[in-house]
A = this chain, B = another copy of it.
């Protein structure tokens, strides 16, 4: 993994000259550790538990191709042209209907379409945070979110979860501590369902309270829900947004129920805040790809997504079961792992006194053994980990591993776990 420091220090010639003009935020840029591991996972013979890509094998490609052909031939003058900065109106309406399955009832003027929900996260960070502001996240959290936050020079504070997700009381006491230090906590970033990287789901009976705590302290809740439709039991949890649409900004994604390659997501915010998000979005992309939005609309409107999502969720369930069974069989005594009810990931905690006290150190041996994973440190904020005077009991992810089961046959994944266990 090449760090920003290495990138900056090794520069010569034109690069070095230009870099002298870099903004101070560039020092906070964070190359994706997950992407680095992806490259290893492409090597022949390697079994990847690093992944995180949805499985697209069940998509009706012929049908989708025909749909695209018809759309371009008949509506090409619209879908190949610039479109509305807010996104396609029909797609915004569809999003409103879609969100009823989670108990939310947004109106179209609250919907902002984006070039993927990652962009939604960038926009909300841009709109709400000045350098030095605090963002709360789960500990651990999605590495791509850390990449966004660090680029805005904010302070990331990670609150540990238990097996039922964030504890509202722990969140409140952290907010109080930060307020007492005179800090401004702008928002809580949370992935309530089948979280990345832990697979943990926020208990339903904590949801109202978590929203209440944040509202009381004027902390916006930014709810990221890419995996919400991928529950193994086919049920949907109520969104945090449904508890209080006035204080929760919701990020939605079509990447896991249709396709990440078209880059379409959405966000929900009160109408005037949404207008600001639109202005910020237009400054970056003018509009989301109109063709992509139209394809998503077709896929969703034809109802193709429902059977596709149900079938892929069952695929993921079988793979998850295979991985957990293999952990049971092969992992050293004392290893702990989460038991996901949906999504792509399980999260391992190594036992004390094992061969590798730091999972990242085990990665080269794992690769030699033919398996790759993402070390837990990738899901913790670097700055926090290195902060002087940090209490040693605060987790940094060193004893953790994220295992992804979204790609690969059950037997292959189980073999990957066996190889991994052999080096741990």
A402 at interface, CB cutoff 8 A: no
A115 adjacent to B285 (CB under 8 Å): yes
A151 to B126 alpha-carbon distance, docked (Å): 9
The answer on a CB contact under 8 Å between B285 and A127 is no
Instruction: State the Cβ distance, A2 to closest chain B Cβ, in Å.
Output: 8
Known: A14-B247, A270-B14. A285 touches B77 (CB 8 A): no
Contacts of A14 in B (CB 8 A): 245-247, 270, 273
| CB of A57 within 8 Å of the partner chain | yes
The interface residues of chain B lying within 8 Å CB-to-CB of A15 are 270-273
Q: Are B262 and A80 in contact (CB under 8 A)?
A: yes
- In the complex, the count of this chain's copies comes to 2
B65 touches A80 (CB 8 A): no
Q: Which residue of B lies closest to A186 (CB)?
A: B21
In contact, A80 and B59 (Cβ under 8 angstroms): yes
Q: Is A394 part of the contact surface with B, judged by Cβ < 8 Å?
A: no
Cβ contact within 8 Å between B61 and A73: yes
Closest to A264 in B: B289
Separation in Å of the A26 CB from the closest CB of chain B? 6
25 residue pairs A–B, Cβ–Cβ below 8 Å: A4-B279, A10-B272, A14-B246, A14-B270, A18-B273, A19-B273, A21-B186, A23-B133, A29-B280, A30-B283, A35-B85, A53-B82, A56-B77, A64-B80, A65-B73, A80-B260, A80-B262, A81-B259, A82-B260, A118-B285, A119-B285, A122-B284, A147-B282, A263-B285, A284-B284
Identify the A interface with B (CB < 8 A).
4, 7, 10-11, 13-15, 17-26, 29-32, 35, 53-54, 56-57, 59, 61-62, 64-66, 68-73, 76-83, 85, 115-116, 118-119, 122, 126-130, 133, 144, 147-148, 151, 186-187, 218, 220, 245-247, 255, 258-263, 269-273, 275-276, 279-280, 282-292, 295
